[in-house]
Amino acid sequence: MNATTIQAFATLITAVTAVAGIVLSFMTAKIAEQQSQENRASARADRFTRAIEHLKDESLAIRMGALFELEKIGTLDNGAPLTLKKIGALCLKALFEQFGLENIDLQSKAEQEAKTEQEAIVRILSPFIRNGIEDEELLVPSKRGFSSLTSQEDIFLACEIASKFYEQTQARLNLLRLHVNINELDLILFRLCGADLRSANLSKTFLLEADLRWANLQYADLEGANLRATDLQEADLLDANLFKACLIRANLQRANLAGANLGGAYLAVTNLARANLARAGLREANLELTNLEEANLQGAYLKKANLQKANLQKATLEGADLTHAVGLTPEQLLTAVLDDKTKLDPDLRSAYDKLKAGRGPSAPQ
């Protein structure tokens, strides 16, 4: 056996010993970590159970404490120091990469469990929020499970927590067919990100500066609601009733408003860029200074709508009814996409056709 062979054999033994040491350390740490996880899981379950029980307490302070506890339980602790288990896993990953083997998924079990807990917490908060918003006279205390003494403070916090978890796990609050009988209910600044509010009755509700991004509001009744400066980015408002709703300065970018009733709605200085307004009813709606860039208004009904200084850049107006529209100019229409089915007043159609012909490829420069 020559010196080269002996050196290679010694290197192999060293490598095997190193790997065996890492594996042994990893297995030892794994056993200790497993025991620690079991203890933490038991304590976590106890905290979870107590928090749910405290949500039923008549004391606002105790309910608020329960909500903070649920938030703490569901929040991922990304700043925690690396455990021995994670260190061992990183060492194994390095060895896998060194020998060109397929990478392994090292997402910690704790993180997966935390996401599951977030989803469970959102499910628990759904009836708590619903029962705090709805008219108490329509609810039977023995069936609802939560105290009738909910206040705006704890409902506000519950919505904050649920919205925070939605952004991490996409777990939606279940507020399907939420029914509000309180006239002019105050939900100012509330966060209901991603909430399932299909067929909800929120007419005449105050939702100023609320956060309703990604919310599902299909078929919802928002007649006369105050949504001034509300964030409805990418919200789904299919066939929703927004008759005479106030949406001044609201953000409806990329929102789905197909078939929605926006008759007489106040949409001045509103962002509707890339929104879907196909077949939407906008009769006498105020769209002054509204951003409709690249919005889909195919087949929309805009009779007597105020479009003064509205941005129609690349907006699709094919088949839309714009008769008797206020403040609409040929210059605005020239930036949009029209077809023969787009309805315009005769004078406006004539002025638009002339302007378009004058800017055609054969026009003098």
**136-185 residue pLDDT tens:** 443 333 333 444 445 678 899 999 999 999 999 999 999 999 988 777 78
The answer as to whether 276 is a domain residue is: no
- Angle among Cα 114, 160, 171 to the nearest 5 degrees reads 45
> Do 184 and 204 touch, CB atoms closer than 8 A?
yes
Listing DSSP states for 3-44 in one string gives HHHHHHHHHHHHHHHHHHHHHHHHHHHHHHHHHHHHHHHHHH
Q: What is the CA radius of gyration of the chain?
A: 30
The model's confidence at residue 85, banded by pLDDT at 50, 70 and 90, is very low
The answer as to whether 175 is a domain residue is: no
The model's confidence at residue 8, banded by pLDDT at 50, 70 and 90, is low
Largest CA distance in the chain: 103
The answer as to whether 215 is a domain residue is: no
**173-226 residue pLDDT tens:** 999 999 887 777 889 999 999 999 999 999 999 999 999 999 999 999 999 999
The answer as to whether 352 is a domain residue is: no
**303-332 residue pLDDT tens:** 999 999 999 999 999 999 999 999 999 999
What is the average per-residue pLDDT within 108-119?
72
Provide the residue range defining the domain that includes 143.
12-77+85-99+109-168
- What is d(CA 60, CA 162) in angstroms, rounded to the nearest whole number? 19
Tell me the pLDDT of the chain averaged across its residues.
Answer: 83
**245-283 residue pLDDT tens:** 999 999 999 999 999 999 999 999 999 999 999 999 999
pTM: 0.78
Residue 87 has pLDDT above 50, yes or no: no
* Total number of domains in the chain: 1
Tokens 């609050």, residue located = 173
Looking at per-residue pLDDT, the higher value among 90 and 64 belongs to 64
The residue type found at 222 is L
The answer as to whether 186 is a domain residue is: no
The answer as to whether 114 is a domain residue is: yes
Supply the pLDDT for residue 46: 85
Residue 121 has pLDDT above 50, yes or no: yes
